[in-house]
Amino acid sequence: MSSKSHATLRYTSLRASIFLGCLLIALLLGHFGVIPVAGGSGVVFLVLLAGLVSAPISYVALSRQRDAMSEQIAGKVDGMRTRTAKRIAAQNAEEDAADDAARAAAQQN
């Protein structure tokens, strides 16, 4: 099995890991008073802060995984597009054959 077969899963799990790591650091900083946290809204603030910090880290650190995921998705979309085009062409050929047969039958009558 190639390394690109699970590119989406790999990227998503690494992205979630980076977010959870940032969240853990933010919660620890909040717990020790480095970041002032007051009640439930403070925890929401820490979650938003973790998301804000993890986004650029993921953008820089996971560029190869994101490219591999993009290639995997693009390949699947191209395959679906090709199969759909073949199916439509086959349906059109059947329709044309039925139309030609109906016209030939109408000309004979």
Q: Is the dihedral of CA 82, 84, 85, 89 positive or negative?
A: positive
Stretch 87-104: mean pLDDT: 86
* Model confidence at 13: pLDDT above 90: yes
Could you tell me the CA-to-CA distances from 27 to 6, 13, 60 in Å, in that order? 31, 21, 23
* Model confidence at 72: pLDDT above 70: yes
Burial (Cβ within 10 Å: 0-12, 13-18, ≥19) of residue 61: middle
Stretch 74-81: mean pLDDT: 88
> Which pLDDT score, from 0 to 100, does residue 40 have?
80
Query: Cβ contacts of residue 42 below 8 Å, gap of 6+?
Result: 30, 36
> Which pLDDT score, from 0 to 100, does residue 1 have?
44
- Quick one: pLDDT band at residue 57, thresholds 50, 70, 90? very high
* Model confidence at 65: pLDDT above 60: yes
- Quick one: pLDDT band at residue 106, thresholds 50, 70, 90? confident
C-alpha 95/C-alpha 98 separation (Å) is 5
Which position has the token pair 């062409």?
89
Stretch 53-61: mean pLDDT: 96
Stretch 24-51: mean pLDDT: 91
